[in-house]
Structures are given as C-alpha cells and as structure tokens.
Amino acid sequence: MTAQTIDGKARAARIIDAVKRAAEALRHETGTEPGLAVVIVGEDPASQVYVGSKARTAKECGFKSVKHVLGADTTEAALLGKIRELNADPTIHGLLVQLPLPGQIDEAKVIEAIAPDKDVDGFGLTNVGRLSTGAIDEAFVPCTPAGAMILIRDVVGDDLSGKTAVVVGRSNIVGKPMAQLLLAANATVTIAHSRTKDLPAVCRGADILVAAVGRPEMITGDYVKDGAVVIDVGINRIAAPEKGLSDDGKPKTRLVGDVAFASAAEKAAAVTPVPGGVGPMTIAMLMANTLTAAYRAAGKTPPGF
Ligand SMILES: Nc1nc(=O)c2c([nH]1)NC[C@@H]1CN(c3ccc(C(=O)N[C@@H](CCC(=O)O)C(=O)O)cc3)C=[N+]21
C-alpha cells in the first residue's frame, strides 16, 4: 500500500480561518478581543522559532498577542510573579510558559501557578483532571494531541469503536493526553514506551499508531500494520550534510519526525509528514484554545473545532 500523506498544514489553515472568523464575531458581539501571552525564559533558538510562530499566528487571527522574554537566569519567584500578573490581566485570556524551563525553575510549580481558565496548554491539574474524567468539553486539551486527534478523526471517523490505538511515548504533554482522547473516542488503547517488550510487535497491532518518542525516524515500516493510520508527533532537527554547510561552518540541518516516512508509507494507509503534519496543527489548536478562553471569559458558548 502507498499511503496518503495527511496535510496538517492545510487542515491547520482551515482551523485558523475559522478561529479568525469566530474572533471577529466575538469582538462584534461583546467587544472582547482574545489575548494570548507567551512567556519564554532564556534564548533557546528552537523555542524562539516556536514562540515567534505562535505570536505571528495569533496576530493573523486578530488576537492581541504579547510575548515576555525573561533572562535564562530568571528566578522561579520572578517567573511566578509574572504569571500572577498575567493571571490578573483581564485582556489576557490564554497564558502559556514555553517549556522546557532552565534547571533552577520547578516546571510543575510554574504550570500550577497558571489560572486554569487561562491554561490554554492544558498542562495544569484542573485541565488534566477534566480530560481524564471525561469532562472534555470543559477541558483545555493539550494542543499537540488535540491537533493529532482532529487529523485522526478526519481519516478514521469520530467513533473509533473496535479500533486499536498504540501511543508510543508517555509524556504528560503528548502521550498521556493522546491516550485519553483516543479512549474517549472508544478506541482500545495501549501506551507503549522505551521499556515495552517487543515494541515493533506491539505497534504492528495498531490500527492507529501515534509516535511521540523523540527518536529520529525510529518507527520504520517494521512497526506498521498494513492499512494503519500513522501520526508522527516527533520534531527532530538532524544534521543534513547533503545540504552543505551553513554560515557558522556546521552542516545544515533538516527536520525529521519519529517515523521513517518512506518506509512507514509502504505499509500505512495514511501518514502525517514532518514538517507539515502535527506541528502546524499544534499552533492552530493553541489559537482555538485561546479563542475558547476568550468566549468563556465573555460569558459566551465557544464554537467547537
Ligand atoms: N508550553 C509549551 N507549549 C507548546 O506547545 C510547546 C512548548 N511549550 N515547547 C516546545 C513545543 C514544540 N511546539 C511546536 C509547535 C509547532 C511546531 C511546528 O509548527 N512545526 C512545523 C515546522 C517548524 C519548523 O520548520 O521549524 C511543522 O512541523 O511543520 C513545532 C513544534 C510547541 N511546543
């Protein structure tokens, strides 16, 4: 089988368009302009790129967008102070702190400091609890699994009854919430990870395979059942000497996922590419979550996505 390439970029553009129209409607009806604040600690170049693209997309949606860059040596107390300030700011509806944080700062403490009704990343205990207890409509669902789930629904349908799903990876940001979403859609779900025995065999049982391992191109065709839907959550920047050297004299780089695309595509019915798959959906869902936060703050029922 030669797989369909799932176009996450085009799907994300449609969501962003719908968010933009809903933001206009909200502003027209209530005068509320959705506001997103992104806090970044330190100058990690990859984080800078993501934060820049979040800010750009927020503006495209007609949101107020603010970015707070704090030095790499910022104390935990200073960051918590900034979060309290943004929690209290009525023009900010969505607030996220870019992860990872430098070692002197306790990430769990920072995540818990974000007001649950502004926690558009969905990482705080209130939103994790809502998702895990089936109150999904009230939860902010983490953006990457939420975006991956839309791609899965587009290809497989809304009801995954009778389907098996394997999620490779057990992070709080992707693996666990992804498994909850699949379970809520009635799939039979396995969470596999680095200690799983015979991972390829476990993965070959999956009608829906979600790779979130953080190992470049690890999931080859040997892990894929014929006709499976494969969702690649990995974003890995690897050296690409074939592209020559960049200005600093080091080899140029390219982005690859956790899935070896060509090899997986020989077996799968559909695969997401990297770039252009789940990544753009992550940003689109951040916009959708921020819009939802603004609707709720204005006492309005948010549109669904
Ligand atoms: N609190 C927090 N929330 C996050 O949502 C969060 C975070 N921290 N830390 C870092 C990761 C990473 N992340 C990505 C978002 C979009 C793309 C994306 O759009 N990728 C493009 C390619 C981008 C490129 O070319 O570099 C694509 O896959 O097509 C990738 C990665 C959000 N993250």
**Which residue among 123, 235, 253, 289 is best mutated to probe the pocket of ligand 1, counting the most ligand atoms within 8 A of its Cβ?**
235
Q: Which 8-state DSSP code applies to residue 82?
A: H
The set of protein residues with a Cβ atom below 6 angstroms from ligand 1 is 49-50, 53, 96-99, 121, 143, 235, 255, 274-276, 279-280, 282-283
Taking the model in full, what pTM does it have? 0.96
Q: Can you give the residue ranges of every domain in the chain?
A: 29-115, 142-279
Digit-coded pLDDT (tens) for 14-32: 999 999 999 999 999 999 9
pLDDT (mean) for 49-67: 93
Q: If one looks up domain 29-115 in CATH, what number appears?
A: 3.40.50.10860
Q: Do the Cβ atoms of 302 and 295 come closer than 8 Å?
A: yes
pLDDT bucket at 43, cuts 50 / 70 / 90:
confident
* 131-184 residue pLDDT tens: 999 999 999 999 999 999 999 999 999 999 999 999 999 999 999 999 999 999
Nearest CA to ligand 1 atom 24: 275
Distance CA 67, CA 47 (A): 12
DSSP label at residue 116: G
Q: Same topology for domains 29-115 and 142-279, yes or no? A: yes
Confidence of residue 1 (pLDDT cuts 50, 70, 90): low
Q: Is 169 among the annotated ligand-binding positions?
A: yes
State yes or no: ipTM above 0.90: yes
Confidence (pLDDT) at 109 = 98
> Is pLDDT at 104 greater than 90 in this prediction?
yes
Tokens representing 183 are 């379970």
Span 82-104, average pLDDT:
97
Give the Å distance between the CA of 55 and the centre of ligand 1.
Answer: 12
H-helix segments, 162-198: 175-184
Whole-number Å distance between alpha carbons of 186 and 129: 19
Q: How far is the CA of 299 from the centre of ligand 1 (A)?
A: 30
Q: How confident is the model at residue 272 (pLDDT cuts 50, 70, 90)?
A: very high
Task: Report the catalytic residues.
Answer: 54, 98, 121
Give the residue among 169, 129, 220, 223 at the shortest CA–CA distance from 178.
Answer: 169
For the chain, the straight-line distance linking the first and the last C-alpha, in angstroms and rounded, comes to 31
Instruction: Please identify, in words, the CATH class of the domain defined by 142-279.
Output: alpha beta
Q: How far apart are the C-alpha atoms of 278 and 141, rounded to whole Å?
A: 15
- Residue 49: per-residue pLDDT: 81
